[in-house]
C-alpha cells in the first residue's frame, strides 16, 4: 500500500494524513475552483474600470492588460477611474453641469447604520444567548422559536405590518427607524448563533471559576466571553453581510434623504431615462464591496479558529 503510486498521487494529489502540506494537484484544483467563484467579482471590478462605451461591446473586452501579448488586442480595454468619480458627482440632466449625487453621505450613513445595528444586536444578543444557554426558562425552546420567526417567514410577509408600525410610530423614513429594524433582525440571528457557541463551552470551566471565588457576572465576563471571541467575530461578520445586502425593507422604509446604499444604487442606475448605466453600477458595487471585504479580511483568523481550543477533554 505504502509503495504503490496511484494515478491520483502521480497527478500530485497527496494522501491525507493529518496536517500535511497539500500536493500541487490539490492546490491547483482549489485554485481553479476559487477562480470560478471569484469570476463574477472580477467581472464587476473590470466593468467598473472600463470606459463607458465598452461596457456592452461585442466581442467583450475581458482584461485591462494584454498579459504580455497573451490576450489579443480586441479583448483588451484601457482602464479608467472616471466611473468612480461619477458615482459621487455627475451630470444629472442633459446639457447641465455635474451635480453631487449624495453617495458620499449614503455610504457614510449606511456604514454607520450597519455597524451600530450589528453591534447593538451583538451586545443585546450575547446577553440573551447566555441567558438562554445557562438559565433556561420554562419553554425555552418556544421562546427561541418565536425569536426566529421574524427571520423564518418571507420578508414580504413581515413588510406590511412593519410599514404600518413605522407609520404609526413616525419612524418611517428616518435613520433611527432603519437602525432599530436592522437591530431587531440581527438579534434573532445573533441570539441563535451565540447560544450555540455558549452551549459548546464546558460548564466545568465556569464551575471552576465559581470555586475560585468568581461572581456570576465575572464568570460571564472573564471566563465565558473570552472563550467565544471567535463566535462574536463570526456573528459580527455574518450580521454585517446580511444587513449590508438588505434591500426590500430599506426601499420601503427610507425616503430620498435616508436611502441605504443598495436602494440608492437602484435609484442611481434606473433614473435618468437613458437605460442602465452599467459602468456606473459596477463602480458603485465595487465601492460597496470594500467595507465588507475589509471586515471579513481582518476577522478571518477569528472566523477560522476553533472555539474551545481543545483544553477540555471530553
Residues making contact with other proteins (CB under 8 A): 202, 204-205, 207-214, 218, 223, 226-227, 229, 308-314
Ramachandran class of 170: left when φ > 0, alpha when ψ lies in -120 to 50, beta otherwise: left
Q: With respect to other proteins, which residue has the nearer C-beta, 150 or 202?
A: 202
Q: How far is the CB of 106 from other proteins (least distance, A)?
A: 40
Q: Are 277 and 87 in contact (CB under 8 A)?
A: no
User: Of 5, 3, 39, 1, whose CA–CA distance to 23 is shortest?
Assistant: 5
Q: How far is the CB of 171 from other proteins (least distance, A)?
A: 40
Bridge partners of residue 98, in order along the sequence: 91
Q: Are 292 and 242 in contact (CB under 8 A)?
A: no
Q: How far is the CB of 219 from other proteins (least distance, A)?
A: 11
Cα–Cα–Cα angle for 123, 127, 132, rounded to 5 degrees: 140
Q: With respect to other proteins, which residue has the nearer C-beta, 94 or 310?
A: 310
Q: With respect to other proteins, which residue has the nearer C-beta, 269 or 299?
A: 299
| CA gap 41, 245 in Å, rounded | 15
Q: With respect to other proteins, which residue has the nearer C-beta, 149 or 203?
A: 203
Which contiguous run of DSSP H or E holds residue 90?
Answer: strand 89-91
Handedness of CA 232, 235, 241, 246 (dihedral sign): negative
SS3 260: coil
Q: Which letter does DSSP use for residue 63 in this model?
A: B
Q: How far is the CB of 22 from other proteins (least distance, A)?
A: 24
SS3 99: strand
Q: How far is the CB of 19 from other proteins (least distance, A)?
A: 15
Q: How far is the CB of 227 from other proteins (least distance, A)?
A: 5
User: Of 105, 103, 248, 268, whose CA–CA distance to 178 is shortest?
Assistant: 248
Q: With respect to other proteins, which residue has the nearer C-beta, 230 or 237?
A: 230
Q: With respect to other proteins, which residue has the nearer C-beta, 186 or 235?
A: 235
Amino acid at each position: 500500500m505504502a509503495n504503490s503510486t496511484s494515478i491520483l498521487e502521480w497527478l500530485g494529489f497527496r494522501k491525507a494524513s493529518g496536517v500535511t502540506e497539500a500536493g500541487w494537484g490539490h492546490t491547483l484544483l482549489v485554485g481553479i475552483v476559487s477562480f470560478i467563484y471569484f469570476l463574477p467579482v472580477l467581472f464587476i471590478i473590470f466593468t467598473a474600470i472600463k470606459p463607458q462605451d465598452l461596457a456592452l461591446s461585442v466581442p467583450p473586452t475581458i482584461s485591462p492588460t494584454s498579459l504580455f501579448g497573451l490576450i489579443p488586442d480586441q479583448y483588451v480595454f484601457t482602464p479608467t477611474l472616471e466611473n468612480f468619480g461619477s458615482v459621487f458627482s455627475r451630470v444629472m440632466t442633459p446639457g447641465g453641469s455635474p451635480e453631487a449625487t449624495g453617495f458620499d453621505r449614503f455610504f457614510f450613513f449606511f456604514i454607520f447604520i450597519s455597524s451600530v445595528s450589528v453591534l447593538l444586536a451583538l451586545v443585546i444578543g450575547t446577553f440573551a444567548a447566555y441567558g438562554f444557554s445557562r438559565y433556561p426558562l420554562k419553554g425555552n425552546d418556544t421562546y427561541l422559536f418565536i425569536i426566529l420567526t421574524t427571520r423564518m417567514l418571507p420578508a414580504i410577509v413581515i413588510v406590511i405590518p412593519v410599514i404600518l408600525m413605522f407609520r404609526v410610530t413616525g419612524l418611517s423614513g428616518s435613520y433611527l427607524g432603519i437602525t432599530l429594524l436592522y437591530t431587531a433582525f440581527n438579534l434573532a440571528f445573533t441570539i441563535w448563533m451565540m447560544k450555540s457557541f455558549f452551549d459548546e463551552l464546558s460548564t466545568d470551566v465556569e464551575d471552576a471559576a465559581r470555586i475560585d471565588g468568581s461572581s456570576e457576572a465575572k464568570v460571564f465576563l472573564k471566563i465565558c466571553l473570552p472563550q467565544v471571541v471567535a463566535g462574536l467575530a463570526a456573528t459580527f461578520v455574518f450580521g454585517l453581510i446580511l444587513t449590508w445586502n438588505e434591500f426590500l425593507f430599506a426601499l420601503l422604509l427610507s425616503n430620498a434623504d435616508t436611502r441605504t446604499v443598495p436602494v440608492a444604487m437602484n435609484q442611481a442606475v434606473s433614473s435618468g431615462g437613458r437605460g442602465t448605466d452599467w459602468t456606473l453600477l459596477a463602480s458603485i458595487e465595487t465601492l460597496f464591496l470594500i467595507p465588507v471585504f475589509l471586515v471579513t479580511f481582518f476577522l478571518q483568523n477569528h472566523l477560522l479558529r476553533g472555539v474551545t481550543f481543545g483544553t477540555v477533554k471530553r
